[in-house]
């Protein structure tokens, strides 16, 4: 077991990368602490699998280091790294029994008696609810049972540094997914192993992980709890990708008075405004989640006049589309709240209105 550090890591599949777009992993620093349950979340192609494969040794990074407990691993082949990797599709020996599949990594490792092997296999089979299947040939198992055997093969070894899961539930029926996800959580609690779970599904990420690393264009743009990613997106992409629907964005103009949008002054914290001025950038965005926009009929200071254009009833809540100048702002309200007919007003309560410069969150210093 170990802490995994990625130090000034970058990777390009191209021999002669000419710019950032040629990098699957753009320069990053990251630490996965020993024993954590992490999700690596991001859209297709953002570099998740590449990052996992660099940790396990299947891919050698073109720049930077992979350290396990401070020791450089770059030159070590995968089989020497003690990393278990579970892929989308089960990797098992079809002709062996479930018992032999689970015992295989232990026999390979050597140094354990038959009894010790049996004890460990039984323990893992018990956790994975495979005890009744131990004598069955693996090829006769269902897809989810096979995937459980794959996971079990990683879990039996006491010397594993970490288990990396690369979208392991893709082949599993939806109704079994939640059971397996819970199982993984229990396994994590019981075995105290560092786990990194790759997914592009935010629900899967937040039910499994204590902390989520959100990846975008080859970089981890935020590493935090599901709540932190929701309440304080550090990058506009986090705001957009997390939540349903994602964050609303307005593109205000910076004037001597402050931030102006649709002819209205939108007040923000003075320190934040000062930082925006100093940045010299004109890529400024205001972000607010649909859950935090207030909707009413009062027009006045900090209540901006809008037109309701659509209401979508989604069972337990409604999504109201309002036209605010050139943009449609989405507001999420409880199902039983009446929606103003056409003329309405919206407000952006202070702690939830975020300011982004060059896509990064700008905040006031805390005392
Ligand atoms: N073996 C390879 N050779 C060249 N380019 C590759 C290779 N593997 C991945 N890439 C490229 O690297 C980038 C990152 O891919 P990667 O598979 O790591 O992303 P991902 O987030 O895991 O995507 P997905 O969710 O679709 O699996 C993509 O642009 C992809 O096309």
The domains found in the chain, sorted by start residue, are 4-234 (3.40.50.300), 244-362 (2.40.50.140)
pLDDT of 254 higher than 80: yes
**How much is the pLDDT for 114?**
96
Q: What is the pLDDT of residues 305-344, one digit of tens each?
A: 999 999 999 999 999 999 999 999 999 999 999 999 888 9
> Can you tell me which atom of ligand 1 is nearest the CA of 198?
22
CA of 204 to the centre of ligand 1 (A): 21
Strands 317-324, 304-313: pairing is: antiparallel
**How much is the pLDDT for 197?**
95
Q: Which band of pLDDT confidence, cut at 50, 70 and 90, is reported for residue 348?
A: very high
**How much is the pLDDT for 1?**
64
Query: Is the CB of 183 inside a 6 Å radius of any atom of ligand 1?
Result: no
CA of 25 to the centre of ligand 1 (A): 10
CA of 218 to the centre of ligand 1 (A): 10
Strands 25-32, 4-11: pairing is: antiparallel
Q: What percent of the chain clears pLDDT 70, i.e. is strictly above it?
A: 99
Residue whose CA is at the smallest distance from ligand 1 atom 7? 13
**How much is the pLDDT for 127?**
86
Q: What is the pLDDT of residues 256-272, one digit of tens each?
A: 999 999 999 999 999 99
Residue 148 makes CB contacts below 8 A (sequence gap 6+) with: 128, 129, 130, 180, 183
Query: Is the CB of 13 inside a 6 Å radius of any atom of ligand 1?
Result: yes
Q: What is the pLDDT of residues 180-229, one digit of tens each?
A: 888 888 888 887 889 999 999 999 899 889 999 999 999 999 999 999 99
pLDDT of 171 higher than 90: no
pLDDT of 367 higher than 80: no
Which residues in 78-88 are b (16+ Cβ under 10 Å) and which e? eeebbbbbbbe
Q: Which residue has the higher pLDDT, 110 or 255?
A: 255
Q: What is the pLDDT of residues 274-294, one digit of tens each?
A: 999 999 999 999 999 999 999
Q: What angle do CA 191, 83, 39 make, to 5 degrees?
A: 70
CA of 232 to the centre of ligand 1 (A): 28
**How much is the pLDDT for 298?**
84
Query: Is the CB of 46 inside a 6 Å radius of any atom of ligand 1?
Result: yes
CA of 45 to the centre of ligand 1 (A): 5
Residue recorded with tokens 């309200």: 333
Q: What is the pLDDT of residues 117-169, one digit of tens each?
A: 999 999 999 988 899 999 999 999 998 899 999 989 988 888 888 999 999 88
Q: What is the pLDDT of residues 7-59, one digit of tens each?
A: 999 999 999 999 999 999 999 999 999 999 999 999 999 999 999 999 999 99
**How much is the pLDDT for 273?**
97
**How much is the pLDDT for 159?**
82
Residue whose CA is at the smallest distance from ligand 1 atom 11? 24
Residue 96: CB atoms within 10 A of its CB come to: 16
Decide if 324 contacts 250 (C-beta within 8 A).
yes
CA of 67 to the centre of ligand 1 (A): 23
CA of 143 to the centre of ligand 1 (A): 25
Nearest CA to 168 out of 148, 153, 140, 142 is that of 148
Instruction: Tell me the mean pLDDT in the region 231-240.
Output: 98
Residue 143: CB atoms within 10 A of its CB come to: 14
Residue 225: CB atoms within 10 A of its CB come to: 13
What span, in angstroms and rounded, lies between the C-alpha atoms of 230 and 225? 9
Torsion of CA 38, 42, 45, 51, to 10 degrees: -20
Q: By CB neighbour count within 10 A (0-12 exposed, 13-18 middle, 19+ buried), where does 320 fall? A: buried
Mutate to test the pocket of ligand 1, among 47, 205, 218, 219 (most ligand atoms within 8 A of CB): 47
What span, in angstroms and rounded, lies between the C-alpha atoms of 2 and 35? 8
Residue 245: CB atoms within 10 A of its CB come to: 14
Residue recorded with tokens 């990396």: 164
Query: Is the CB of 15 inside a 6 Å radius of any atom of ligand 1?
Result: no
CA of 33 to the centre of ligand 1 (A): 25
**How much is the pLDDT for 66?**
97
What span, in angstroms and rounded, lies between the C-alpha atoms of 83 and 92? 16
Put simply, whether the predicted model's pTM sits higher than 0.95 gets the answer no
Average pLDDT along the chain: 93
Query: Is the CB of 88 inside a 6 Å radius of any atom of ligand 1?
Result: no
């Amino acid at each position: 077991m170990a802490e995994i550090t990625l130090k000034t890591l970058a990777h390009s599949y191209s021999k002669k990368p000419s710019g950032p777009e040629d990098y699957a992993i753009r320069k990053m620093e990251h630490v996965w602490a020993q024993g954590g349950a992490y999700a690596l979340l991001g859209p297709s192609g953002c570099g998740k699998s590449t990052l996992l494969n660099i940790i396990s040794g299947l891919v050698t990074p073109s720049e930077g280091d992979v350290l396990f407990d401070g020791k450089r691993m770059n030159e070590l082949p995968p089989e020497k790294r003690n990393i278990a990797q579970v892929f989308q599709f089960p990797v098992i020996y079809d002709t062996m029994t479930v018992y032999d599949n689970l015992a295989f990594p232990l026999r390979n490792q050597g140094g354990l008696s038959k009894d010790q092997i049996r004890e460990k296999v039984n323990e893992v089979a018990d956790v994975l609810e495979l005890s009744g299947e131990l004598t069955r040939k693996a090829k006769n198992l269902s897809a989810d049972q096979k995937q459980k055997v794959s996971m079990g093969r990683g879990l039996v070894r006491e010397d594993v540094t970490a288990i990396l899961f690369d979208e392991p539930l893709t082949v599993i029926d939806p109704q079994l997914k939640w059971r397996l996800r819970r199982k993984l959580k229990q396994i994590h609690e019981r075995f105290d192993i560092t786990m990194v779970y790759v997914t592009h599904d935010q629900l899967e990420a937040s039910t499994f992980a204590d902390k989520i690393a959100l990846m975008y264009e080859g970089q981890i743009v935020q590493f935090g709890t599901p709540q932190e990613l929701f309440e304080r997106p550090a990058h506009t992409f986090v705001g957009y990708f997390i939540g349903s629907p994602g964050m609303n964005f307005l593109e205000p103009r910076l004037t001597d008075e402050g931030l102006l949008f649709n002819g209205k002054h939108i007040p923000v914290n003075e320190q934040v405004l000062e930082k925006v001025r100093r940045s010299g950038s004109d890529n400024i965005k205001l972000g607010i989640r649909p859950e935090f926009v207030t909707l009413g009929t009062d027009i006045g200071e900090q209540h901006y006049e809008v037109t309701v254009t659509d209401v979508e009833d989604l069972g337990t809540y409604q999504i109201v589309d309002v036209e605010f100048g050139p943009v449609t702002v989405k507001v999420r309200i409880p199902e039983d709240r009446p929606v103003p007919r056409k003329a309405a007003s919206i407000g952006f309560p202070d702690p939830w209105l975020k300011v982004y410069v060059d896509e990064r969150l700008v905040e006031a210093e805390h005392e």
